[in-house]
Chains A and B, each alone.
Chain A
Amino acid sequence: DGGITQSPKYLFRKEGQNVTLSCEQNLNHDAMYWYRQDPGQGLRLIYYSQIVNDFQKGDIAEGYSVSREKKESFPLTVTSAQKNPTAFYLCASSTGQGIEKLFFGSGTQLSVL
């Protein structure tokens, strides 16, 4: 079955540690996105990529980094510079052709130890 796979489902970060969240899709989608969701807030865009080897900052990119070396993969690194990383992280993809449906992964809950 085609879809988006995020891993791990739960992740704990120690002070000063970088952690990487995985996102893989087999939908052959060009565009991929990372969102952060906090309680009582809407999803906020961290980074997005419309094509391999290219990505742009979203609204809250500080303290995060991404790479897009393969079409299928868009990992997100939460660096030690992100002082409030506890949140639910959602990866999504779309064909990238105009306005259309976003397909989401099942999410990663990141917490600070």
Chain B
Amino acid sequence: RKEVEQDPGPFNVPEGATVAFNCTYSNSASQSFFWYRQDCRKEPKLLMSVYSSGNEDGRFTAQLNRASQYISLLIRDSKLSDSATYLCVVNMAYGGATNKLIFGTGTLLAVQP
């Protein structure tokens, strides 16, 4: 089983739609969770961290379910500019000073006009 798994997509949705991505992780001791956005052949950029209580940033909502070991990202009112690959990132902290970030393969979102 991969340490971090995502549905690769593509998710093709019309403008204005609501879309949700899930990501599962294998290490129950994982401490921190993030969603990054990556445009084609560009560097990943942090979209949002994911907190235990869930968090929202404008049209974006992130949720964490520790019992089932998954995180989710919900995008409301999709815009054309939301088209990108969304990377799930999990910090598999094994203790000590070294933190190990594991990147999922990414989910491709294509918002259609």
Q: Identify the A interface with B (CB < 8 A).
A: 35, 40-45, 50, 56, 88, 90, 98-99, 101-102, 104-107, 109
Q: Is the interface of B mostly helix, strand, loop or mixed?
A: loop
Taking a contact as CB atoms closer than 8 A, the residue among A40, A44, A45 that contacts B8 in the complex is A40
Residues of chain A with a CB closer than 8 A to B103's CB: 35, 42-44
- Return the chain B residue nearest A35 by Cβ: B103
- Return the chain B residue nearest A9 by Cβ: B41
Query: How many angstroms from the CA of A109 to the CA of B41 in the assembled complex?
Result: 9
Q: Check B8 against A90 for contact (C-beta < 8 Å).
A: no
Query: How many angstroms from the CA of A44 to the CA of B101 in the assembled complex?
Result: 9
Query: How many angstroms from the CA of A90 to the CA of B40 in the assembled complex?
Result: 13
The total number of A-B Cβ pairs within 8 Å is 43
Q: Check A101 against B43 for contact (C-beta < 8 Å).
A: no
Q: How many residues of chain B get a CB closer than 8 Å to chain A's CBs?
A: 23
Q: Check A42 against B4 for contact (C-beta < 8 Å).
A: yes
Using known A-B contacts A40-B8, A42-B87, A42-B104, determine if residue A98 contacts B99 with beta carbons closer than 8 Å. Answer: yes
Taking a contact as CB atoms closer than 8 A, the residue among B32, B43, B44, B46 that contacts A99 in the complex is B32
Q: Check B44 against A90 for contact (C-beta < 8 Å).
A: yes
Q: List 7 A-B contacts (CB under 8 A).
A: A40-B105, A42-B102, A43-B103, A50-B97, A99-B99, A102-B101, A107-B41
Residues of chain B with a CB closer than 8 A to A40's CB: 8, 105
Q: Identify the B interface with A (CB < 8 A).
A: 4, 8, 31-32, 41-46, 87, 91, 93, 97-106
Q: Check A105 against B41 for contact (C-beta < 8 Å).
A: no
Q: Check A104 against B99 for contact (C-beta < 8 Å).
A: no
Residues of chain A with a CB closer than 8 A to B45's CB: 104
Q: Check A99 against B104 for contact (C-beta < 8 Å).
A: no
Sort A-B residue pairs by CB-CB distance and give the 3 closest, nearest first. Answer: A104-B43, A42-B103, A43-B103
Residues of chain B with a CB closer than 8 A to A106's CB: 42-43
